[in-house]
Structure 1
């Protein structure tokens, strides 16, 4: 079963973040109900993979000014049939940043989000069931803006609210700051 690994990761996430139980339950129900949850063709919605891409020092996150959505977000994209969502997140980070030396910092899910993508051209509105992983730049931090972005920026974690008011982005910043505090103890 292609979905088994994701279901196990989501169950682990739910145990670590009980305050997000409603989102976790909705996400799990979607994945369990849809064998084709990793396919963009599933019109209700589909699984996507994203990267909370931090610099070597862990003080900044690379954000994209998303061309289609016109707002600042983490890097990420469609699974397109790939059930290893951490691989999707890493690949999207590589493609969208132009950075060649990246590594997955943790196998566990960092964050999840379910958000509505508005209708565009032939695509009706649909949901992205987004799975986010921490990815770290381990080499050069000189990025290249891809055609999917209007711009990219290394944003200091404490300054995220200067770029976005998106709840999930602020939540990830809070989680990251909490993680850094734990690591410094």
Structure 2
């Protein structure tokens, strides 16, 4: 439906074969295999073109756990437009936050956005999630930066103090 209603868009569904147990009294020599959903990646053509035409060569990556009957991780890449508003570019649902999932997501994203028109490297911001540092390091033309909010929260957890109210250069 995405391809039909949004020509040029990409929607990739990945599945894996899993054994299905048949318990109807038969003796089963080999389990029957059935496809099971593993991942999906979606990037709309109009959104991609708008991002490439009017956004900075900067985007943030994040993921969150899905609650409810269908578990998984929701991954998203978000840019910043000329009005300093968030610009969601692509998203995916994957099985786990790990290097394999992040690498798959970033490989498909790179296939869509390629290099910047200005020749500048992509600047990617993240909160240093599991597997993400390794996946971003595999992109040679990208600069990886970390979110200050998450760095501050990690400092508070580790050292039990806050930097709120601290001004650089003040005595």
TM-score for the superposition, normalised by structure 1: 0.24
Q: Whose RCO is larger (CA < 8 A, sep 6+)?
A: 1
Higher helix share: 1
TM-score for the superposition, normalised by structure 2: 0.25
Give the greater-gyration-radius structure (CA).
2
Higher strand share: 2
